[in-house]
Structure 1
Amino acid sequence: MTVYKAPVKDTLFVLKDVLGYERYSNLPGFSDASTDVLEAILEEGAKLAENVMHPLNQSGDHEGCTRHDDASVTTPKGFKEAYGHYREGGWMGLSVPAEFGGQGLPYTVHSAVGEFFSSANMALMMYPGLTQGAIAAILEHGSEEQKQTYVPKMTDGVWTGTMNLTEPHCGTDLGLLRTRAVPNGDGSYAISGQKIFISAGEHDMSENIIHLVLARIEGAPAGTKGISLFIVPKYKVVEDGSVGEKNGVSCGSIEEKMGIHGNATCVMNYDNAEGYLIGAENGGLRAMFVMMNEARLGVGMQGLSMGEIAYQNAVAYAKDRLQGRSLTGPKAADKPADPIIVHPDIRRKLMTMRAINEAGRALILWTALKSDLKHRSQDEAERQAADDHLGLMTPVIKGVLTDKGFDIAVMAQQVYGGHGYIEEWGMSQFVRDARIAQIYEGANGIQALDLVGRKLGANGGRAVQAFFKEVGDFCEANRSDEAMAPFTKGLKKGLNDLQAATMWLMQNAMAKPDNAGAASTDYMHLFGLVALGYMWGLSVKKAQEGLANGGDKAFLEAKLATARFYFDRLMPESTAHLARISSGADSMMALEAEAF
């Protein structure tokens, strides 16, 4: 049985000390979630994650979901009841506006507690996770009638939601999709086609499932310009808002997957299903991107969450497993061998996991705070800057944190040695579950191309220049502080490498686009190194202040030690990334396809 303890203390340190959560009490929703309320929410979320969700993680993986002859699907034993606890606690609507039955609290709070739930049971949390994305899309692009019809019951959790993009012949290239929408003459459309890889597409945990489906209206332009978005409920909704007859949508099969077995990933068949246009005709991709961007941030959180729980279990095993003696002499003389945590290579793994997880948590919460500023601030310049930040950081968070989350899961498995390869120990599940986060909601190579091809040049480079300035100003402001020097020196070096890589792309990518493609993944990870390093810089500053003011000595000194490791052992990778970026695409593209 694996273990999990929600990192409440670390989350509060990030929110209260590093990000200055209390400074935003003037924004709508923040005044309802004072630091005392915030702490209470995190503590209650921790209890649900640790005591209800996590005990079902391994059993849900082993049992999986079952499709029956009538195309219905049952989830693993205990999932429906656990979801009931989640729903009854009001967790689904934590950040949904109060007018639709939510609590209207900051998205930052939703994100903080969401990490706990995802670490505890990633497959289970995908059911409400997709629903929250669907709610966001309907609130952004739906009509008032659609909002009133669907959002309150989705917020309550009695109805859930999905997103339907991928088809058997097309994934990222949505311009190729074939699902068609034929007007019925009464404002509705007949939706026909097949979608694959649909997370939570069919299950037994809610009374209705509201599918958001991309389809092409007859006569629409070719490519992505002719895609529309439709609301297609599993059961039709009658005028009084109750559930009516079954719609023409069904689960054709459940995908047999490497991981996340507790989530019903379905092939969905639409046979003249009744659907309703959401947003503008042929404007479906823009409407779906609201859901996709929220989902991408959520997937980045899944990377962090898998890294966190894998780390916690690796630490527990390393403290318990006896193997060999310390290179500097026995540390447990009363035992036949020392715990493996004494060995430097085990420490290398554990420190790497810890350094990435703690900075990753800060990066996600910093970006969640920007989302709140975008939607809640009364200052137009502040809203614009926050929107710029979200656009820039979304591919970094999704791509870097899911790559690192998988790496951490593999590292943690390695700490276990042979036991890590045996299913009963649970580490294999973390590796299998973490793997999907690198693939869905836009594979990480696509995230890297999005960063390099779209986000860097957006609005004349306004977002990336603002980021460079913020990090550079932080380094300069702390340049004469001797205590900060070991950290700011490494951060400044990483920033210099990132700026040099950006300049190289500006000079070499336009004339030869393959240079951008060849550089993109290294550039994304170089950007991630610096962003995580900036989070460590901010954390170090607050940890030093906390120590000077009599704060928790052990906790704060551990922060400083972990930060030193990050800048000593991880930040120097920026040099290698820059070298690969500036080597261009020639050697990568030299072989003809026939030579492979």
Structure 2
Amino acid sequence: MPEFRAPLTDMRFLLNEVFAAPALWARLPALAQIIDADIADAILEEAAKITGGLLAPLNRSGDEEGVSWSNGVVQTPAGFKEAYATYAEGGWVGLSGNPGFGGMGMPKMLAVCFEEMLYGANCSFALYSALSSGACLAIDAHATPELKHRYLPPMYQGRWAGSMCLTEAHAGTDLGLIRTRAQAQDDGSYCITGSKIFITGGEQDLTENIIHLVLAKLPDAPAGPKGISLFLVPKRLVNDDGSLGATNTVSCGSIEHKMGIKASATCVMNFDDARGWLIGEENKGLAAMFTMMNYERLSIGIQGLGCAEASYQSSRSYARDRLQSRAPGGAVAVGKIADPIIVHPDVRRMLLTMKAMTEGGRAFASYVGQQLDLAKFAEDDREQQRAGELVALLTPVAKAFFTDTGLDSCILGQQVFGGHGYIRECGQEQLVRDVRIAQIYEGTNGIQALDLLGRKVVGNGGVALRLFTEEIEQFAQQQDLPYGAELAAASQRLEALSDWLMQQARYDANLIGSSCVEYLQLFGYVAYAYMWARIAQAAATNTVLSDDFYQAKQTTAAFFFSRLLPRIESLDTCIRAGSHTLLKLDETQF
């Protein structure tokens, strides 16, 4: 099983040279007080140690052992409980949490780097922490002061965990169909009754309490999604002094047996008149839950990115060592029986594709993190609003494109290994299994594409889109910018296609649904083109790192613009073909 090493050099390059993160933090008062370049670097170093040294060694054993369930009790694999205690003691659960309740308050630009390390090292372990961080975000944004003070400090400390309880057996994407019910009590609490499925970390043995955020309907609630409320339901009730009281009537009915992420407990959770407390307003729970869901969607996108990085690291090492045949132009490893397979053009195609897409994705994650920081901390209202609109636009792109291309990179890595990639010893088959779920949960990628095109572009009249494309085109106009012309052309293609879709959707009700997946893919390639142009510019003008590092960046950028970005031409053609061929086949003919 190959070691995982956090790509610290690349992360530092992005933060310091491409995005000038320390300068941004210095001008945002809330961040200037707590972070600078030296603190960020120290956090990255420690994060690399804990992910590479503590969590990565548990990845394969955790997959092989998996979680177990007996009479409502879930046991995580050997080593997970001790590792989680060390992890929590280091304050990692609350890395970007509210300092007013014990979080570290670190910027999202730094947090996305840490999350990539987590998922690259151990996907299953990462999920326990990710759900807690998302639950804290929703509580902090929408709960009463009393609930915040009671629940957030022990959650940020890692003593308590969080879960997100949305899905029911009959209600996945269409949450308006949920049947879980809530009944108000005289003491201000609610009785929650119902069953939820696919609940990540719904039960585990890592923490002394689990705080479930549960969607349910009140007796007189409006039909559909407008009648959903959000409730905080602890596994164990909490006394007024903060100590743990009686066990709530919440139980784990079973766990799922899955293709991957086997060390992550995916539970059926039953609520039998369980005591809970309202978060936010009655019948407005979906909006409150989306605070958590949008966090989780970016986090799960980064799962694709982390797995892609792990795949690239292992397949790159293998390609340098595996001897097979001679290079097309003659022997390279003179004196050996064959050349390493990295000399072969097709292997280089696979490795360069993985490298270009993973490094472009890492830059895009940093960019989205930058917008999240501005939306939260900027003092100028217009800057804050603009960043918020970009976050809404780009979140579905990040979730879906990171995970689609993350699976592609894991499969390419498996292909580099050949037959050895299909067996357990090399770890590639686990990466393929673990990353596959990321395209499905937190809203399938088809739903992300519908959200992007239907709501964020067409439904928004293209306003948010133009914020992004105008920024790209302004950047592309700089003199002597590498790939400026190619970047401007790609952005203009995205704008023209978006305008065409907005016009045609007036006459074709099926156009958005039939085009949205290809549209999101095209959008993703254009976004990565923007990132690679920024990377190439930084590599051409900076001298902080080695010449070899910068040369590799420039060569990879050239590969992206010549071999990957042209994919948008076929996607454009596919979209403009319209919806009619999708609908001509009668359902009986399938």
TM over 0.5: yes
Taking the TM superposition and a 5 Å limit, the aligned residue runs for 1:379-528 are: 379-457=380-458, 459-478=460-479, 481=480, 484-485=481-482, 487-528=483-524
Q: Does 1:303 align with 2:297?
A: no
Secondary structure of the residue that 1:219 maps to in structure 2? coil
Q: 1:44 aligns with which of 23, 43, 46?
A: 46
TM-score (norm 2): 0.98
How far has the Cα of 1:170 moved from its partner? 1.0
Give the aligned partner of residue 561 of structure 2. 567
Counterparts of 1:550 and 1:34 in 2: how far apart (Å)? 18
Amino acid at match of 2:104: Q
Counterparts of 2:102 and 2:503 in 1: how far apart (Å)? 52
Secondary structure of the residue that 1:388 maps to in structure 2? helix
Give the aligned partner of residue 89 of structure 1. 90
Q: Is the 8 A contact 2:461 2:502 kept in 1?
A: no
Amino acid at match of 2:550: L
How far has the Cα of 1:89 moved from its partner? 0.6
Give the aligned partner of residue 585 of structure 1. 579
Taking the TM superposition and a 5 Å limit, the aligned residue runs for 1:247-326 are: 247-326=248-327
Q: Does 1:2 align with 2:2?
A: yes
Counterparts of 1:540 and 1:425 in 2: how far apart (Å)? 33
How far has the Cα of 1:49 moved from its partner? 0.6
Instruction: Tell me: CA distance 1:245–1:551, structure 2 relative to 1, closer, same or farther (3 Å).
Output: closer
Please list every run of 5 or more consecutive structure 2 residues that lacks an aligned counterpart in the other structure. Answer: none
Give the aligned partner of residue 345 of structure 2. 344
Counterparts of 2:196 and 2:502 in 1: how far apart (Å)? 39
Secondary structure of the residue that 1:416 maps to in structure 2? helix
Give the aligned partner of residue 375 of structure 1. 376
Counterparts of 1:9 and 1:242 in 2: how far apart (Å)? 44
Counterparts of 1:459 and 1:490 in 2: how far apart (Å)? 27
Q: Is the 8 A contact 1:409 1:430 kept in 2?
A: yes
How far has the Cα of 1:457 moved from its partner? 3.8
Of residues 225-234 and 469-478 in structure 1, the stretch that sits farther from structure 2 once superposed is 469-478
Q: Is the 8 A contact 2:239 2:245 kept in 1?
A: yes
Q: Is the 8 A contact 1:119 1:306 kept in 2?
A: yes
How far has the Cα of 1:551 moved from its partner? 4.4
Q: 2:589 aligns with which of 575, 592, 595?
A: 595
How far has the Cα of 1:105 moved from its partner? 1.9
How far has the Cα of 1:458 moved from its partner? 5.3
Counterparts of 1:578 and 1:569 in 2: how far apart (Å)? 16
How far has the Cα of 1:108 moved from its partner? 1.7
How far has the Cα of 1:432 moved from its partner? 0.4
Q: Is the 8 A contact 2:66 2:264 kept in 1?
A: yes
Give the aligned partner of residue 132 of structure 2. 131
Q: Is the 8 A contact 1:30 1:105 kept in 2?
A: no
How far has the Cα of 1:54 moved from its partner? 0.1
How far has the Cα of 1:31 moved from its partner? 3.9
How far has the Cα of 1:550 moved from its partner? 6.8
How far has the Cα of 1:511 moved from its partner? 1.7
Amino acid at match of 2:450: L
Counterparts of 2:66 and 2:491 in 1: how far apart (Å)? 45
Counterparts of 2:351 and 2:109 in 1: how far apart (Å)? 28
Q: Does 1:21 align with 2:21?
A: yes
Q: Is the 8 A contact 1:388 1:462 kept in 2?
A: no
Instruction: Tell me: CA distance 1:460–1:587, structure 2 relative to 1, closer, same or farther (3 Å).
Output: closer
Amino acid at match of 1:14: L
How far has the Cα of 1:491 moved from its partner? 1.7
Give the aligned partner of residue 533 of structure 1. 529
Give the aligned partner of residue 205 of structure 1. 206
How far has the Cα of 1:477 moved from its partner? 1.8
Counterparts of 1:156 and 1:397 in 2: how far apart (Å)? 29
Post-superposition CA distance 1:171-191 (Å, at most 9, x none): 000010001111222211111
Post-superposition CA distance 1:96-140 (Å, at most 9, x none): 122101122212212221211111001001001000000000011
Counterparts of 2:227 and 2:259 in 1: how far apart (Å)? 34
Amino acid at match of 1:140: A
Q: Is the 8 A contact 2:478 2:484 kept in 1?
A: no
Q: Is the 8 A contact 1:490 1:571 kept in 2?
A: no
Taking the TM superposition and a 5 Å limit, the aligned residue runs for 1:330-341 are: 330-341=331-342
Counterparts of 1:284 and 1:113 in 2: how far apart (Å)? 30
Give the aligned partner of residue 60 of structure 1. 62
Counterparts of 1:74 and 1:193 in 2: how far apart (Å)? 24
Give the aligned partner of residue 193 of structure 1. 194
Counterparts of 2:451 and 2:209 in 1: how far apart (Å)? 35
Instruction: Tell me: CA distance 1:550–1:304, structure 2 relative to 1, closer, same or farther (3 Å).
Output: closer
Q: Is the 8 A contact 1:73 1:202 kept in 2?
A: yes
Q: Does 1:239 align with 2:233?
A: no
Counterparts of 2:330 and 2:169 in 1: how far apart (Å)? 59
Give the aligned partner of residue 33 of structure 1. 35
Q: Is the 8 A contact 1:491 1:571 kept in 2?
A: no
Please list every run of 5 or more consecutive structure 1 residues that lacks an aligned counterpart in the other structure. Answer: none
How far has the Cα of 1:68 moved from its partner? 1.6
In the comparison of the two structures, how many residue pairs are matched?
588
Q: Is the 8 A contact 1:494 1:572 kept in 2?
A: no
Q: Is the 8 A contact 1:250 1:268 kept in 2?
A: yes
Post-superposition CA distance 1:52-106 (Å, at most 9, x none): 000000000000001122x111101011111111101111111112210112221
How far has the Cα of 1:30 moved from its partner? 3.7
Taking the TM superposition and a 5 Å limit, the aligned residue runs for 1:65-80 are: 65-69=67-71, 71-80=72-81
Q: Is the 8 A contact 1:117 1:125 kept in 2?
A: yes
Q: Is the 8 A contact 1:302 1:402 kept in 2?
A: yes
Instruction: Tell me: CA distance 1:165–1:550, structure 2 relative to 1, closer, same or farther (3 Å).
Output: closer
TM-score (norm 1): 0.97
Counterparts of 2:330 and 2:104 in 1: how far apart (Å)? 57
Of residues 571-580 and 15-24 in structure 1, the stretch that sits farther from structure 2 once superposed is 15-24
Counterparts of 2:197 and 2:429 in 1: how far apart (Å)? 25
Amino acid at match of 1:111: V
Q: Is the 8 A contact 2:458 2:502 kept in 1?
A: no
Task: Give the superposed CA RMSD.
Answer: 1.1
Secondary structure of the residue that 2:283 maps to in structure 1? coil
How far has the Cα of 1:489 moved from its partner? 2.7
Post-superposition CA distance 1:285-338 (Å, at most 9, x none): 000000000000101111100100011001011111111111010111211111
Taking the TM superposition and a 5 Å limit, the aligned residue runs for 1:110-129 are: 110-129=111-130
Counterparts of 1:183 and 1:37 in 2: how far apart (Å)? 47
Q: Does 1:222 align with 2:232?
A: no
How far has the Cα of 1:154 moved from its partner? 0.3
Counterparts of 1:216 and 1:32 in 2: how far apart (Å)? 41
How far has the Cα of 1:492 moved from its partner? 2.3
Amino acid at match of 1:446: I
Q: Is the 8 A contact 2:134 2:295 kept in 1?
A: yes
Secondary structure of the residue that 2:332 maps to in structure 1? coil
Counterparts of 2:236 and 2:322 in 1: how far apart (Å)? 53
Secondary structure of the residue that 2:217 maps to in structure 1? strand
